[in-house]
Amino acid sequence: MSSVVVGTFDSRDQAERSVQELRNKGFDREISVVARDEHQGDSSELSMRGDTDSTMDGISTGGVLGGIAGLAVGAGALVIPGIGPLIAAGPIAGLLSGAITGGIAGGLIDWGVPAEESRHYEEDVRQGKTLVSVHSSSAKLDDAAHILRQHGANNVKTY
């Protein structure tokens, strides 16, 4: 039984529009976002939180999270060896903070994404793409996949 749909975006703007539409369609706590922290030198720091129950509306991070922070829950910053500084939001944030050594691939594998494909998604993020996933019941995943594709996501797959 499918439980997650994953895709990557070449730009954060595409990812933000996708996440906004997902929220408009009733998705909320199911949405995860992972992106490179391009403002690594910013003086604002966030601690990684496993709290996925609090919406990050109105967070002031000196622009580190951009518009995605207001769209996803449980946002935070972390560093993964071999990838560098990341921003993660949603259910995947808790997975990544608990298994930093497994990286993004380890978190996706925990959700049933095959290891080889998980490593491909991790490499996409390393290269600057933004990963968006929706972890939900299989009945809703077709809608989520359609929204991701509609906004230009690459390599959209349901697992």
Largest CA distance in the chain: 44
What is the pLDDT confidence band of residue 60, given thresholds at 50, 70 and 90? very low
CA dihedral 139, 7, 152, 61 (to 10 degrees): 110
**Burial degree of 30 (CB within 10 A; 0-12, 13-18, 19+):** buried
How do the domains of the chain map onto residue ranges?
4-158
Angstrom CA distances, 10 to 13, 31, 125, 126, 132, stand at 9, 18, 10, 12, 11
Q: What is the pTM of this model?
A: 0.77
Q: Which residue has the higher pLDDT, 38 or 107?
A: 107
pLDDT of residue 41: 43
For residue range 14-47, list pLDDT tens digits in order.
Answer: 999 999 999 999 998 899 999 988 665 433 333 3
**DSSP-derived secondary structure letter, 53:** S
Instruction: Indicate if the pLDDT at residue 96 is higher than 90.
Output: no
Distance (Å, rounded) from C-alpha 60 to C-alpha 58? 6
Give the closest residue to 79 by CA, choosing from 143, 134, 25, 36.
36
